[in-house]
């Protein structure tokens, strides 16, 4: 099974206050209701996240790199619930932004209040979402790629993002982008401690590396 490529895009992170002050090209985003004629804007992404029970602390648009930087408050109390949140955020990004024609390049995230051992940040490349939406990349490949970007605290376990959680990432049949919280599909859409996050510029099937086959299988037929 092929994996995402190996070229990386680094994001200097750290605490929330540090990121807020990093780079003059990062502008804050306010929520915007997509209404009946969505335009796949960062503001619509913000709105749709909150419509799907993701609590946005801050969202920034890096206008130089055309990236989104999301800080969100996690309601998760377990790794499974944390992965479910990642799944929903990805779906809104994928179907709410990328599938609607957004030209944003990457989404970087940071959890503002992680529980002990929880992932503190992760990222996704828009090209991954494009290939996944087109059926050129499997659920497993997509999830493995996101899992490899996960960042943890110094004392946290870093072997995460595997097993049954992945199947829940795409199991629901509703439309998240239409504001149906918990319904699963997005029809509307980091790292910490100075770490380079691998969000490859190459596609799912353009790498010589092999995906981690220990990841569970997904059911993203809706996408």
pLDDT at residue 24 greater than cutoff 90: no
The confidence band for 179, taking pLDDT boundaries of 50, 70 and 90, is: low
Percent of the chain with pLDDT over 70: 59
- Report H helices in the chain: 16-20, 42-51, 79-91, 126-133, 139-149, 165-168
pLDDT at residue 10 greater than cutoff 70: no
- Domain membership of residue 218 (yes or no) is no
- Domain membership of residue 214 (yes or no) is no
- Domain membership of residue 117 (yes or no) is yes
Q: What is the pLDDT of residues 105-128, one digit of tens each?
A: 999 999 999 999 999 999 999 999
Q: Using CA atoms, how far apart are residues 71 and 47, in angstroms rounded to an integer? A: 14
pLDDT at residue 27 greater than cutoff 70: yes
- Domain membership of residue 167 (yes or no) is yes
The per-residue pLDDT of the chain, averaged, comes to 74
Q: What is the pLDDT of residues 31-51, one digit of tens each?
A: 999 999 999 999 999 999 999
The pLDDT score that the predictor gives to residue 89 is 98
Mean pLDDT of 96-100: 97
Mean pLDDT of 151-164: 56
The confidence band for 22, taking pLDDT boundaries of 50, 70 and 90, is: low
Q: Could you tell me which residue, 15 or 133, shows the higher pLDDT? A: 133
Cα 176–Cα 144–Cα 218 angle in degrees, nearest 5:
50
- Identify the DSSP state of 31: -
Domain that residue 107 falls in: 9-197
- Domain membership of residue 22 (yes or no) is yes
pLDDT at residue 13 greater than cutoff 80: no
Residue 154 CB coordination number (10 Å): 6
Integer CA distances (angstroms), 89 to 21, 109, 110, 123, 176, in order: 24, 10, 12, 10, 9
Token pair of 52 as six digits:
């799907």
- Domain membership of residue 222 (yes or no) is no
The pLDDT score that the predictor gives to residue 23 is 63
Write the CB contacts of 18 (distance below 8 Å, at least 6 apart in sequence): none
Residue 182 CB coordination number (10 Å): 11
The pLDDT score that the predictor gives to residue 122 is 96
pLDDT at residue 58 greater than cutoff 80: yes
- Domain membership of residue 179 (yes or no) is yes
12-46 burial: b if 16+ Cβ within 10 Å, else e:
ebeeeeebeebeeebeebebbebeeebebbbbbbb
The pLDDT score that the predictor gives to residue 153 is 85
Domains held by the chain: number:
1
- Domain membership of residue 66 (yes or no) is yes
Residue 116 CB coordination number (10 Å): 7
pLDDT at residue 206 greater than cutoff 80: no
Token pair of 129 as six digits:
């979402």
């Amino acid at each position: 099974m092929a994996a995402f490529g190996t070229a990386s895009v680094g994001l200097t992170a750290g605490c929330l206050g540090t990121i807020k002050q990093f780079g003059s090209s990062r502008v804050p985003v306010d929520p915007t209701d997509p209404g009946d004629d969505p335009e796949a804007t960062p503001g619509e992404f913000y709105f749709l996240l909150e419509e799907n029970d993701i609590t946005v602390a801050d969202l920034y648009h890096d206008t130089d790199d055309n990236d989104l930087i999301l800080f969100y408050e996690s309601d998760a109390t377990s790794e499974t619930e944390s992965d479910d949140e990642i799944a929903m955020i990805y779906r809104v990004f994928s179907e709410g932004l990328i599938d609607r024609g957004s030209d944003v390049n990457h989404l970087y995230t940071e959890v503002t209040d992680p529980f002990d051992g929880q992932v503190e940040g992760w990222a996704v490349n828009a090209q991954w979402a494009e290939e996944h939406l087109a059926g050129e990349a499997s659920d497993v490949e997509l999830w493995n790629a996101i899992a490899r970007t996960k960042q943890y605290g110094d004392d946290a376990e870093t072997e995460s993002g595997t097993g049954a959680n992945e199947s829940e990432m795409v199991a629901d049949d509703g439309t998240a982008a239409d504001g149906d919280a918990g319904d699963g599909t997005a029809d509307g859409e980091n790292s910490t401690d100075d770490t380079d996050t691998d969000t490859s510029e190459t596609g799912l099937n353009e790498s010589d590396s092999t995906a981690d086959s220990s990841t569970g299988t997904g059911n993203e037929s809706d996408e």
